[in-house]
A and B are shown apart, each in its own frame.
Chain A
Amino acid sequence: MEPILELSGLTKVYPGGLKALDDVDLTIRRGEIFALLGPNGAGKTTLIGAVCGLVRPSDGTIRAFGHDLATDWRKARSRIGLVPQELSTDMFEPVVRAVSYSRGLFGLPPDPERIEEILRSLSLWDKRDERIMALSGGMKRRVLIAKALAHEPDLLFLDEPTAGVDVELRKGMWAIIDQMRARGVTIILTTHYIEEAEEMADRVGIIRQGRIIAVDEKEALMSKLGRTEAHISLAEPLDTIPAAIAHFPVELEEGGHSLCYRGGDGTGRGKAEVADLTKALTRAGIDYTGIETRESSLEDIFVALLGEEA
């Protein structure tokens, strides 16, 4: 798929020596939702800032829509939108004026119909004349999204869009992101909520200490690094693993009262192997009283990857 954003050797060293980005290479494809995951201080916001003009890179190149951001920044920036992590907006302004300002700032002519469409899509139309300070936290965040969409960007950065938002609003936000994707907007999302990336993203990147340590399709990442875990409660305790099931990745737990299987690859192979294991147990005359299986989540993979890198 055609790249919309290409980072090459992107490095940012802050005065004082902190290396927030370390030789980052990353390509974002048109129309995808890319989730950038990482712990606090990993460099997610710095990466967004470097693309959006808030941070001056120390080294490397950024190309957006084929334009080099160092030289052709006007053309590139006019097509990029940013929803910041903090609720940063003039709280005294009415909603519609704030959103119209954003459109004008990006050099577009006034378009009340378009502004109305954006506000309606975000359920803000009824609040258009309210001062932003009078809105709830969730609505304020939606105002920031409306401001970012006002100039009809092709690439949108959402920096922790659901931070501090309750579960219901978070799901509402996911629906909004889905709408934007449907309109063809490419979205780069940073989040602490792995569940969010699992729900929304086409591809996932994991960043740690300024370095991208993994980038892949979400499904591929889960397939490569995913695992199935099964706990089989035995009717009678075992002292050792019987030869009949020794070829399975199993171990005894709870003093031999439970058999634990860890294997598979996130594509369902683990589940099939657990089924084979139970058949093998039956054939060997080993009785069991219960089975509990669990597929590893993106969060497990994330934690495991960060653990490996540490």
Chain B
Amino acid sequence: MIGWRSTWSIYKRELLRFLRTAFQSVLAPVLTTSLYFIVFGAAIGGRMPDLGGVDYGAFIIPGLLMLTLLGETTSNSSFGIYMPRFTGTIYELLSAPVGVAETLIGFVGAAMTKSLILAAIILLTARLFVDYSIAYPLLAMFYIMLVAAAFSLFGFILGIWADNFEKLGIIPMLFLTPLTFLGGTFYSIDMLPKPWDTIALANPIVYLVSGLRWTFYGSSDVNIWISFGITVAFLAVCTGVIAHIFRTGWRLRS
């Protein structure tokens, strides 16, 4: 049984927290995306050939979207649960008649919503620099939601695991961002010399970027079903880990 009022309360509060820093939350991705388009789209992109029949400026849009999506989703979600733990306000959540479902839908749903808003902002910003069209818009939206859900869950785990601010930032900074940069955001895996094109396939982010690129342009480095399967598998693993955390109370209940 899910307590929908409790879920809505958590969701609404998390979104209101996002709105408190709305200016920064919106401006930062707009600025970052604009800079990427100016540097990679206009300055370098003009000298790059089309990739798979797609203009270079348009080619990098799914990668840039994924770059922001992974970073923002993970940090929003991890921060959302870490701060109550850090300030002690989590007592209220733990003492309420609220279970794993309400908590996850509330926190993760809010993190997903924020990410979808950011994705829309990035796509609108991209439109100012590049002319592009999305081959499968509904599929693209579904895939973005799937990735946002998976990384919201991942961020939630991170926020429970972290016992200081350094740990909270270390995974996005040292792993997610580099892996996304190396995951085909700005290039096609085919462009890499051997054996790097094969080694690159060990990077899970390659599959996410590639999957989103397929929904945009109908072609990608990796088969869409593999991308889809990996994303769903990651989502399932994260859900399982969180279910275990709630069952055992790890780092939540003493």
Contacts and interface: CB of A to CB of B under 8 A. Distances in A.
Contact of B87 (A80, A90, A102, A106): A90
B91 A104 contact: no
Given A54-B254, A78-B97, A105 B6 contact: yes
A53 B246 CA distance: 12
B99 interface: yes
Nearest to B252: A54
B13 interface: yes
A82 B95 CA distance: 8
Given A82-B91, A102-B92, A107 B254 contact: no
Contacts of A56: 249, 253-254
Interface string B131-150: 00000000000000000000
A226 interface: no
A74 B99 contact: yes
A53 B13 contact: no
Contacts of A49: 254
Interface residues of B, number: 27
Q: Chain A interface residue count: which class?
A: 20 to 34
A75 B97 contact: yes
Contacts of B89: 88-90
Contacts of A14: 254
Given A53-B253, A56-B253, A86 B97 contact: no
Contacts of B8: 104
Interface string B77-99: 00000000001110111111111
Nearest to A77: B97
A84 interface: yes
Contacts of A88: 87-89, 91-92
A109 interface: yes
Given A88-B88, A90-B87, A105 B253 contact: no
Nearest to A86: B88
Nearest to A74: B97
A53 B5 contact: no
Contact of B95 (A52, A86, A92, A104): A52
Nearest to B106: A105
A211 interface: no
B194 interface: no
Across the A-B interface, give the 3 residue pairs with the lowest CB-CB distance, nearest first.
A104-B9, A88-B88, A52-B95
Interface of A: 14, 49, 52-56, 73-75, 77-78, 80, 82, 84, 86, 88-90, 92, 97, 101-102, 104-109, 147
9 contacts: A55-B253, A56-B249, A75-B97, A77-B97, A84-B88, A105-B9, A105-B92, A106-B6, A107-B5
